[in-house]
Each structure stands twice: as structure tokens, then as C-alpha cells.
Chains A and B, each alone.
Chain A
Amino acid sequence: MKHVITLNVNGDPYTVSVDPSQTLNEVLREELNLTGVKLGCGSGDCGACTVLMDGRAVSSCLTLAVEAEGKDILTVEGLAPSGEKLHVIQEEFIDKGAIQCGFCTAGMEMSALHLLNKNPSPTETEIREALSGNLCRCTGYAKIVEAISSAAQRMNDASERNQ
């Protein structure tokens, strides 16, 4: 039996009819065409499908869509709402050379955002811990860690200026 759910994705309200066996990943990619959310393993080990659900980084491949009823979902497509001006995390990923094949990138950025929202000044070890659920085969993580560290710095500088 299908369930009609309403959820908020990247600030936009959606009402979708889903089968209980559909994962959030399937609904985001197949029904809402948010293909920036990747599927790397389907078992919650690689992190390529990471999205924020009510502010928490979760694996969309291990989340049932029916359980996203009433939730706020943020995907990579919602990171930079204007489309033109990128999020600081995205800018740093680009500038530091943290992107190679790009398949892990969206998930890495979402994990980075989850970390920086909780901990604006993480140490290198804290960054690495926060990425422990995101695998990358291209970069060896070095430039990803560097990008997140630099993004944290810039976000802190910006919030100081705003105060």
C-alpha cells in the first residue's frame, strides 16, 4: 500500500506517493530528479548518498522514504540556494583541488556541513572523524580535509564580521 508523504526538500514542499519499500535515496533521485545525491553502495558504508535530515547527516540509502514524512531534507542541490553564488564549502572544495571523479563530493560536502554546523572550529582529527562514513577512492582525503578546514576558517571569519 502506498503512503502519501509530504516533505520539505531544499526549502521546497513536495507531496509524493511512496511505497514503504522505497528509500529516501530512490525518491530523491527517481521521483524528485535530485541526482546530485549519489548511490555508491546502498548499505550505508560509503556516504555518497549523504543528505541532511532535520540537520543530521544520514545515509539516504538506509532511510525509508515514509519515515521522511514531515522532515526537512537538504541535498547538495540546496547547498547554494541562489545557484550562482556557491556555498563556502563548495568554493573550498573547488579551490583546494578536493574534487577528482566527484562521485563522493556531494556526500562529503553534506558531511562537512553537518560537522561545521555542530562544531565551527574542528581540529584535523575531528574533521577526519566526521568523514569516517564517507569513502573516497581518488583523493586520499588530504585535500578534502584541507578544504573543510579552510571553509571553517572562512565561515568563522564571516560570522565574526557580521557580529
Chain B
Amino acid sequence: MRLSKFDFHAPKTISEAIELLQSKGPDARLMAGGTDLLMKMKHGAVKPPCLISLKSVPGLNAIRFDESAGLTIGATALLSEVAEHPDILRHYPTVAQAARATANVQVRNMGTVVGNLCNASPAADNPPIHMAMRAVVLIEGPGGKRELPLDEFFRGPGVTALLPAEIVTGLRVPRMPVNAGTAYHSLSARGKLDCNAVGAAVMLTLKGKICEDVRLFISACGPTPLRGRKAEEMVRGKELTEEIAAKAGAEAAEESLPITDLRASADYRTEMVAVLTRRVLKEACQMALTSQPA
């Protein structure tokens, strides 16, 4: 349970970090909070010869909210800071909730939302709601800056769309549309100290009682968080009745690709996708209804 040996660098700028990534080769690892990476190293799953910490880059931990541009979460902003930020609690309650649902107090005081995304665990708490809310990943690399929708970012367990020497510097989450609601539910089959067995997040926009738009993402049921497209179709353009919600749940269950592992069986996961989908749809719909002007 001791860490293997490595070189450590704490660059002061993003361009310095990119240069280090280029010069240290493909096995060098970037870290923000380090909680996921150090765990993997302790269990011998990875042995990077070089770690590059982003924590010394000034301003990278900023959380900014702007009425028009929305929310920007810097790469080293802590999970606890996101969970407790007044603007996030007010305008992005489900983003705060997902951050707060991540691991435990100590890990939230060390780990970051962006790190949780870059780790690309299919069971992670933060990706589904950010995907549902059309978050965009801010990337810098040797070729300059680019942006990528988060739902195109994940390529498999632990694999992202980042090119060599690219760094995620932050995450931008657009403002929630008017008349929209969001929800995130996760389940662990055993106990609360946990890594999820299954999770579901949704953003849903109403026009009157009709669901104009809906984005549903399921976690821990495939190699990456999955979009429930058929479930969305079931809901789009309709009023969210019990029956529609149940049908959407069944569709989402059909679309999910769970495996059996330590945390739950594939069958249980499939069944829970249906239950959670139904629950998040109803909760988001309720939020959208109450947010509508009377």
C-alpha cells in the first residue's frame, strides 16, 4: 500500500504543464486532487514515472458564474467547493447535489469535479448531470485551445477524447433553460459508504405541461455514462404521466449495458435503471413545474 517512486512537478502555468506532458512522455500523469490516481497507484494498477500536479497553477481553482455565459468550474476547484458554492446551489442545484454525493467529506476536500470527469469512471457521480446539462469541456494542448461537449468526451472506462499532452482546464455549464428541471439519483445496493451501483440524471424542459426537451444519462451501466435516447423519445413532446415515465424507464433499462461486478448484478442494475429513470423524470418535471411563472 505504499506508492511507487515517481518524479513530481508542480508547474505554475498551463503551458508549462503542457510542455512537461510533452517532454515526460505518455506515461506521465496529470493530477488535480489526486484521490483517484493515488488510490490506483497504491493498488499497483498504474505506476507512472512522473506526476504533474495542477494545483500550483494560479486561478485554476476558480468557480465563476455569469448570468449569460453560465458556470465555469476550474480544473482544481474542489468537490466540496462546488457542493457548497452559493451560485451553484441556487442555479445548478443538481450539480451541487452530485458533487456532494461523491465519496466522503475528506475526499471532497481533496478531489475535484474535473478530476472526477477526467478519471472517466463509468460509475462516477458527477458526469451524468453535467452531460444532461450540456456541459462543455475546456481543453488546452500543444495545438491551442478547444472545446468539446462533455457527452463526446468519454470513450471507455478510464479513456477520454483528450489528445496527447492535452489538459482539461475547466468545465462550462450553460444556464438552465427557463421552465427546466434537473434531477440526479444514485443507488448503492449495500451501505452508504459508496461507489454507485447505478445512477441516473436528467434535464427536462417543459412548455406548459408538455416535455419540450429532455436529456437523460445513466451511469454505472456501460463503459461510459450512457444517453437514454429511446427513453428521451418516449417523453419528448408528451406530458409526463406515470405511464409515460414508466415506459421511459423500461426503454432506458433496455438501452443500458450493465455488467455484474462487486457492486451489483447486471439484472439488478437493469431493473434499477427503470426505477431511477422514472424517479428522476418525475422529480425534474416537478422542479420545472414549480419554476414556471404562475
A111 to B2, CA, bound (A): 24
Given A58-B110, A66-B8, does the pair A20, B42 have CB atoms closer than 8 Å? Answer: no
| Cβ-defined contact, B193 with A135, below 8 A | yes
Residues in B whose Cβ lies below 8 Å from that of A45: 104, 193
| A132 and B104 in contact, given A20-B51, A42-B1 (Cβ under 8 angstroms) | yes
Interface string of B186-217 (1 = CB under 8 A from A): 00000011000000000000000000000000
Which residue of B is nearest A66, CB measured?
B8
What are 23 contact pairs spanning A and B, CB under 8 A? A3-B8, A20-B5, A21-B2, A21-B3, A21-B5, A23-B3, A23-B38, A42-B42, A43-B1, A44-B103, A44-B104, A44-B107, A44-B110, A45-B193, A53-B109, A57-B109, A58-B109, A59-B107, A62-B38, A67-B55, A111-B106, A114-B105, A131-B105
| Chain A residues within 8 Å of B, Cβ to Cβ | 1, 3, 19-23, 42-45, 47, 50, 53, 56-59, 62-64, 66-67, 111, 114, 129-133, 135
**Contact indicator B34/A62 (Cβ below 8 Å):** yes
Give Cα distance in the complex from A155 to B177, angstroms: 44
Check: B39 CB closer than 8 A to any chain A CB.
Answer: yes
Please provide the 7 A-B residue pairs with the shortest distance between their CB atoms, ordered closest to farther: A133-B104, A20-B8, A21-B3, A42-B1, A56-B109, A59-B106, A133-B106
Closest residue to B80 on the A side, CB-wise? A56
Chain A residue nearest to B110 in the complex (CB): A58
Whole-angstrom distance between the alpha carbons of A110 and B5 in the complex? 30
Q: A44-B35, A45-B193, A62-B39 are in contact. Are A20 and B103 (CB under 8 A)?
A: no
Q: Bound state CA distance, A135 and B109, in angstroms?
A: 17
Residue B261 interfacial (CB < 8 Å): no
Distance, CA A57 to CA B34, complexed state (A): 15
With A21-B2, A21-B4, A56-B80 already in contact, the answer to whether A64 and B109 are too (CB < 8 A) is: no
Q: Is the pair B105, A64 in contact by a Cβ cutoff of 8 Å?
A: no
Q: Known contacts A111-B105, A132-B192, A133-B105; decide if A43 and B39 are in contact (CB<8 Å).
A: yes
Does any Cβ of A come within 8 Å of B268's Cβ?
A: no
A63 touches B110 (CB 8 A): yes
Nearest-neighbour CB distance to chain B for A120, whole angstroms, equals 16
- Contact present for A132 and B8 (CB under 8 Å): no
Q: Do B193 and A19 touch (CB < 8 A)?
A: no
Closest to B1 in A: A42
Determine which residue in A43, A47, A58, A62 has the highest number of CB atoms from chain B within 10 A of its CB, and name it: A62
Q: Contact between B106 and A57 (Cβ–Cβ < 8 Å)?
A: yes
Task: For residue A139, give the distance in angstroms from its CB to the closest CB of chain B.
Answer: 16
User: B66: CB under 8 A from chain A?
Assistant: no
Could you tell me the distance in whole angstroms from the C-beta of A74 to the nearest C-beta in chain B? 13
- Closest residue on chain B to residue A56 by CB atoms: B109
- For the complex with contacts A23-B3, A43-B1, 16 further pairs of A-B residues with Cβ separation under 8 Å are A20-B7, A21-B2, A21-B3, A44-B106, A57-B106, A57-B109, A62-B34, A62-B38, A62-B39, A62-B110, A64-B34, A66-B8, A67-B55, A132-B192, A133-B103, A135-B193
CA distance A117 to B105 in the complex (A): 14
Which residues of A sit under 8 angstroms from B2, Cβ to Cβ?
Answer: 21
Query: CB-CB < 8 A to B5: which residues of A?
Result: 19-21
Give Cα distance in the complex from A4 to B104, angstroms: 31
Binary flags per residue of B1-45, CB closer than 8 Å to A gives 1, else 0: 111111110100000000000000000000000110011001100
Residues B153-210 near A (CB distance < 8 A): 192-193
- What residue of chain B has the Cβ atom nearest to residue A44's Cβ? B107
